[in-house]
């Protein structure tokens, strides 16, 4: 029997099912117009994708591995890269949802949940936490299909039920939910018919504001026939509402397939998380310590005061959670504040990019291949993604508190005071300019100040240099709306920069960023895989030619997305390849003054001195932040009614701590199944700590 669910704004997902019944269907009361309902559900889907992406990124950054060629280190690295790739794909889903909002003329939405509470519309409570079997259990359960797929082994399906039980306990006793019903309802709406979208609901001229795969894509399956491990960024181009409708349905179906699919044709998030769970389990069984002891929900807020016992339990838990995650170590705090600034900058640039029109590159003439205002926004978005990754990898090495107690900080991912951007194009540029200027001032005064431990950090030096350069561009855009000509690179510097931007400034492994740090002569004389990088016409005084060299051939063949350079990433724009061809034909002129590197690769933050990590379990637990959230509402109601123990009261739990601890160890509490060992250990340590006092 099918069930319908009344869906208010704060409850738009459905509990997961293990009984094989059909999933519940969404019903919104009072009934909305189809286009309005589609906008609502797409907005919710955007928030879910953003929240999942951030949580997966935090978990990926918590994985620690060395570059040693050992099987354990390789396995840890693969786990890190596996979670990171899934986070990338969630970014692609987020961009596709923004394109769908464009398609029906709805407002874009880059919001996500602010806190770990009241999160019924999400698969699980929002929680920035390190990678563990318990966090992975939530990820597996959220992404798994509701029904056992054909060909899926019975033993593995049974194992998934055990993992779902772990996920429930890791989600504060609440079942992990699925977002499948949201996408199922969206497909119904886009299919049309009675109660669906009409042709008039589609906006046919939105392509110039949409994100495309050539802008944001990434593909690890270049040698495969399917799109496994591909960042899906679907665009909707056409003047026929019928074809747009079909493309939208296919995109929504692909998002669902990439999340919950199973089989030879896909390499879904579900399958990969399931494998990562087993890989993590094996490394843990081997005794490998490969996860940084990062805090849960770190933040740069001022610690809230301890609230009185007369307040609502939820308020006490919220305040305790913030207090528990407060970064009070001075250095970690300023790195966390810098992270939040750059996170705000990324979200503003992303929103701006999706609301500005025009090409990304100058298509022809003497400025061929130069970035336009929209092209600069695209570049800067990837710059900020790279910056955030490097800052996050610094934060996991820094202590959360002073004095250090074995728990480390992590990326706060705090949302800014607003995600709305100004209506005026000039004011949008001015907002970005304000944020960059504030970052420069902050780094100068708080991080590079003489006598500070970070004053010589190469990453901060490179960040400041890039920001100072971008401030000049932003000032011009905010005043006259154009990129200043003097800021555009030329000749060899432009050639090298095109290659660096093709990989978005990230370090690549196939052959390294071979163009960085080289002067013009060294670059022109390079050989790659026994071929000259730039060809020579042997019959014509060995003049440089683009026709026989390795570089142009590889860049042009990448247009098929199967071979060539840049690997895994979209092909270089034809206008930029044309610049490189023309530059070689002009005999690869150098810049003035000659002999300088064309581009320098951005450096990473300095590593902290490695210390033997102290397990986070040694940190003193807090009742409101750590202990009380472990009990479910059913536990609280039952113990109060039948045994007179108030689990919302620290005083009552202290009084009955020994009795509760014994029952937890015996497995008779909680009522929905045993706690994981680390949760029992946490309660025991809390009980022992208060006994000592």
- 446-471 pLDDT, tens digit each: 999 988 999 999 999 999 999 999 99
Q: Say how far apart CA 603 and CA 639 lie, in whole Å.
A: 56
- The per-residue pLDDT for range 180-219, each reduced to its tens digit, is 888 999 999 999 988 999 999 999 999 999 999 999 998 8
Q: Tell me the domain boundaries of the chain.
A: 4-285, 323-487, 491-585, 620-692
The answer to whether the beta carbons of residues 24 and 4 sit under 8 Å apart is yes
Q: Helices (H) and strands (E) in the chain — how many of each? A: 21, 8
Taking residues 319-339, report their average pLDDT: 92
Place of tokens 């896909």: 266
Q: What is the pLDDT of residue 29?
A: 79
Average pLDDT of the residues in 291-303: 94
pLDDT of 261: 75
| Topology (CATH) of 323-487 | Ferritin (1.20.1260)
| 17-73 pLDDT, tens digit each | 444 456 667 778 788 999 999 999 999 999 999 999 999 999 999 999 887 778 899
Kindly tell me if the per-residue pLDDT of 149 is higher than 90: no
Mean pLDDT lowest among 106-110, 503-507, 647-651:
647-651
Q: Is the pTM of this model over 0.85?
A: yes
pLDDT for position 302: 87
Closest to 58 (Cα-Cα) out of 440, 325, 436, 432: 325
Which CATH class, in words, describes the domain spanning 4-285? mainly alpha
3-state secondary structure of 5: strand
Q: What is the dihedral of CA 311, 315, 318, 320, to 10 degrees?
A: 0
In which residue are the tokens 């920035």 written?
128
- pLDDT exceeds 70 at position 602: yes
Q: pLDDT class for 171, splitting at 50, 70, 90?
A: confident
- Percent of the chain at pLDDT above 90? 61
Report pLDDT for 276.
97
Question: Could you tell me if residue 529 is left (phi over 0), alpha (psi between -120 and 50 degrees) or otherwise beta?
Answer: left
Lowest mean pLDDT among 16-20, 169-173, 686-690: 16-20
Sign, CA torsion 291/293/295/298: negative
Out of 64-73, 99-108, 255-264, the most confident range is 99-108
Torsion sign, CA atoms 234, 239, 241, 242:
negative
With b for 16 or more beta-carbon neighbours within 10 A and e for fewer, the 557-583 pattern comes to ebeebeebbbbbbbbbbebbbbbbbeb
CB distance 531 to 549 below 8 Å: yes
Query: Distance (Å, rounded) from C-alpha 93 to C-alpha 472?
Result: 33
* Residue found under tokens 């060395």: 66
In whole angstroms, what is the distance from residue 3 CA to residue 402 CA? 53
Q: Please report, rounded to a whole number, the percentage of residues in the chain having pLDDT higher than 70.
A: 87
Phi-psi region at 564: left, alpha or beta (left = phi > 0; alpha = psi -120 to 50): left
Q: Would you state the pLDDT for residue 124?
A: 87
Q: How confident is the model at residue 17, as a pLDDT?
A: 44
- What is the pLDDT, as a whole number, of residue 113? 73
Q: Are 134 and 123 in contact (CB under 8 A)?
A: no
> Two tokens at 86?
């899934």
**Is residue 9 over pLDDT 60?**
no
- Retrieve residue 59's tokens: 């978990």
SS3 state of residue 6: strand
By mean pLDDT, which of 296-305, 444-453, 656-665 is the weakest? 656-665
Q: What mean pLDDT do residues 284-296 have? A: 93
Per-residue pLDDT band for 377 (boundaries 50, 70, 90) equals: very high
Q: What average pLDDT does the chain have?
A: 87
Pair 556, 548: CB distance under 8 Å: no
Examine domains 4-285 and 323-487 and report if their fold is the same.
Answer: yes
pLDDT at residue 188, as a whole number = 95
Collapsed DSSP state (helix, strand, coil) of residue 350: helix
């Amino acid at each position: 029997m099918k069930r319908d669910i009344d869906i208010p704004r704060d409850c738009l997902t459905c509990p997961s099912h293990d009984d094989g019944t059909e999933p519940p269907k969404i019903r919104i009361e009072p009934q909305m117009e189809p286009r309005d309902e589609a906008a609502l559900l797409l907005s919710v889907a955007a928030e879910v994708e953003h929240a999942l992406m951030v949580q997966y990124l935090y978990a990926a950054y918590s994985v620690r591995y060395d570059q040693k060629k050992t099987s354990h280190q390789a396995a840890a690295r693969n786990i890190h890269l596996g979670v990171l790739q899934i986070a990338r794909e969630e970014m692609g889903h987020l961009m596709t949802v923004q394109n769908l909002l464009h398609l029906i003329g709805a407002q874009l939405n880059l919001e996500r949940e602010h806190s770990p509470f009241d999160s019924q519309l999400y698969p699980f409570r929002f929680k920035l936490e390190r990678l563990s079997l318990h966090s992975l259990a939530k990820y597996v359960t959220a992404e798994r299909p509701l029904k056992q797929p054909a060909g899926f082994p019975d033993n593995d399906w049974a194992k998934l039920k055990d993992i779902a039980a772990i996920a429930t306990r890791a989600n504060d006793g609440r079942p992990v939910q699925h977002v499948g019903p949201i996408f199922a309802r969206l497909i119904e709406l886009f299919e049309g018919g009675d109660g669906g979208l009409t042709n008039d609901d589609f906006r046919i001229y939105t392509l110039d504001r949409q994100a495309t795969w050539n802008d944001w894509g990434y593909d690890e399956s270049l040698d495969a026939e399917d799109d496994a491990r591909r960042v899906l960024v679907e665009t909707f181009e056409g003047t026929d509402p019928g074809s747009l409708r079909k493309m939208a349905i296919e995109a929504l179906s692909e998002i669902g397939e990439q999340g919950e699919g199973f089989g030879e044709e896909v390499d879904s998030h579900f399958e990969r998380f399931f494998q990562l769970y087993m890989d993590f389990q094996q490394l843990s069984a081997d005794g490998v310590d490969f996860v940084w002891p990062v805090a849960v929900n770190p933040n740069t807020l001022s610690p809230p005061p301890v609230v009185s016992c007369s307040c609502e339990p939820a308020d006490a838990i919220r305040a305790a959670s913030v207090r528990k995650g407060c970064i009070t170590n001075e250095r970690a705090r300023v790195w966390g504040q810098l992270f939040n600034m750059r996170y705000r900058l990324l979200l503003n640039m992303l929103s701006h990019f999706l609301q500005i029109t025009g090409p990304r590159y100058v298509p022809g003439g003497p400025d061929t291949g130069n970035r336009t205002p929209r092209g600069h926004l695209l570049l800067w978005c990837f710059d900020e993604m790279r910056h955030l990754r490097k800052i996050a990898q610094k934060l996991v090495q820094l202590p959360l508190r002073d004095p250090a107690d074995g728990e480390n900080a992590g990326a706060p991912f705090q949302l800014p005071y607003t995600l709305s951007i100004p209506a005026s194009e000039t004011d949008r540029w001015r907002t970005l300019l304000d944020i960059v200027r504030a970052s420069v001032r902050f780094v100068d005064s708080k991080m590079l100040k003489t006598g500070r431990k970070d004053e010589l950090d190469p990453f901060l030096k490179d960040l400041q240099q890039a920001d100072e350069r971008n401030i000049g561009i932003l000032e011009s855009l905010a005043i006259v709306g154009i990129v200043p000509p003097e800021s555009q690179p030329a000749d060899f510097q432009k050639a090298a920069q095109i290659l660096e931007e093709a990989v978005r400034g990230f370090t690549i492994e196939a052959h390294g960023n071979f163009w960085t740090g080289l002067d013009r002569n060294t670059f022109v004389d390079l050989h790659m895989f026994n071929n000259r990088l730039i060809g020579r016409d042997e019959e014509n005084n060995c003049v440089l030619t683009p026709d026989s060299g390795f570089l142009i051939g590889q860049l042009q063949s990448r247009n098929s997305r199967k071979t060539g350079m840049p690997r895994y990433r979209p092909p270089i724009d034809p206008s930029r390849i044309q610049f490189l061809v023309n530059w070689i034909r002009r005999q690869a002129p150098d810049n003035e003054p000659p002999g300088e590197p064309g581009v320098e690769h951005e450096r990473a933050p300095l590593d902290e001195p490695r210390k033997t990590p102290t397990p986070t379990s040694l940190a003193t637990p807090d009742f409101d932040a750590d202990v009380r959230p472990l009990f479910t509402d059913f536990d609280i109601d039952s113990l109060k009614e039948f045994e007179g123990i108030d689990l919302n009261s620290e005083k009552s739990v202290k009084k009955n701590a020994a009795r509760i601890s014994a029952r937890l160890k015996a497995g008779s509490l909680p009522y929905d199944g045993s706690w994981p060992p680390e949760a029992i250990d946490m309660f025991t340590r809390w009980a022992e700590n208060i006994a000592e006092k």
